[in-house]
Amino acid sequence: MAQGTLFIVSAPSGAGKTSLVRELIESLDGIQVSVSHTTRERREGEVDGVNYHFVEVPSFEAMVEQGDFFEYARVFDNYYGTSRSAVQAMLAAGQDVILEIDWQGARQVRAQLPDAVSVFILPPSREELERRLAGRGTDEHAIIARRMRDAVDEMTHHDEYDYLVINDDFTTALRELQSLVIARRLTLERVSEHHAPLLAALLD
Ligand code: 5GP
């Protein structure tokens, strides 16, 4: 069976990445999100095994030692990593796979799999990003300023990606992401592999 494509999606917090990716996989068949391992605390509403595999630091370090991670990084004081075997199994089954990872992980993936397609999602303006990071307005100024600094740090790496999507209008941004996935499925290589009998019959 033809291998699926690996998509890397990165964004600063507040760009709407998680909602866009959720809609993307619901709107298309044959595409899944890889569930990362993390050492960070579970947030309210998050489900172990669905949003992340929540693990303790020693377990994470043991996985690093065993070479279980395709990529991993320390992001905001916690470890995050992508299971190599899980991703390989999905790709081998012909599924397209999305990795929602930061710029450090993206670099590691590109180094191992130059064919991976990488997308960076940007907010529509600095003001809108600040508004989204301020949330309900209950957080202290220093906390919001720290989130803003982290977001700007992540955005400085936007030029390492193949595609940029600006999330101003959600529906437009979603359509743009869908287009990237669909276009990739129409490459000569993918169509020739998937439709080898058709091509053989047409050219007979
Ligand atoms: P959060 O804790 O808010 O869910 O995620 C924080 C950051 O970690 C986000 O930028 C997210 O993309 C990144 N992240 C989540 N999972 C992974 C992973 O498996 N690897 C890497 N390198 N980054 C990840």
| 144 and 127 Cβ atoms separated by less than 8 Å | no
Span from the CA of 64 to the centroid of ligand 1 (angstroms): 16
Tens digit of each residue's pLDDT (9 = 90 or more) over 155-199: 999 999 999 999 999 999 999 999 999 999 999 999 998 899 999
User: Which mutation among 100, 121, 146 tests ligand 1's pocket best, with the greatest number of atoms within 8 A of CB?
Assistant: 100
Q: State phi, psi for 122 to the nearest 5 degrees.
A: -110, 150
User: Any known ligand binding at 86?
Assistant: no
Tens digit of each residue's pLDDT (9 = 90 or more) over 158-167: 999 999 999 9
Closest CA to 120 of 188, 77, 173, 83: 173
Single-letter code of the amino acid located at 174: L
Span from the CA of 102 to the centroid of ligand 1 (angstroms): 6
Asked whether 39 lines ligand 1 (CB < 6 A), one says no
Mean pLDDT, to the nearest integer, of 137-141?
A: 74
Closest CA to 73 of 35, 37, 115, 48: 37
Span from the CA of 77 to the centroid of ligand 1 (angstroms): 11
Please give the number of the atom of ligand 1 that sits closest to the Cα of 154: 10
Q: Alpha helices, DSSP H only, in 103-140?
A: 103-112, 126-134
The interface predicted TM-score of the complex, written ipTM, equals 0.99
Checking if the pLDDT of 17 tops 70, the result is yes
| 140 and 49 Cβ atoms separated by less than 8 Å | no
**What value does the mean pLDDT of the chain take?**
95
Tens digit of each residue's pLDDT (9 = 90 or more) over 33-56: 999 999 999 999 999 999 999 999
User: Any known ligand binding at 49?
Assistant: no
Asked whether 73 lines ligand 1 (CB < 6 A), one says yes
Tens digit of each residue's pLDDT (9 = 90 or more) over 18-36: 999 999 999 999 999 999 9
Label residue 136 by pLDDT band (50, 70, 90): low
Asked whether 14 lines ligand 1 (CB < 6 A), one says no
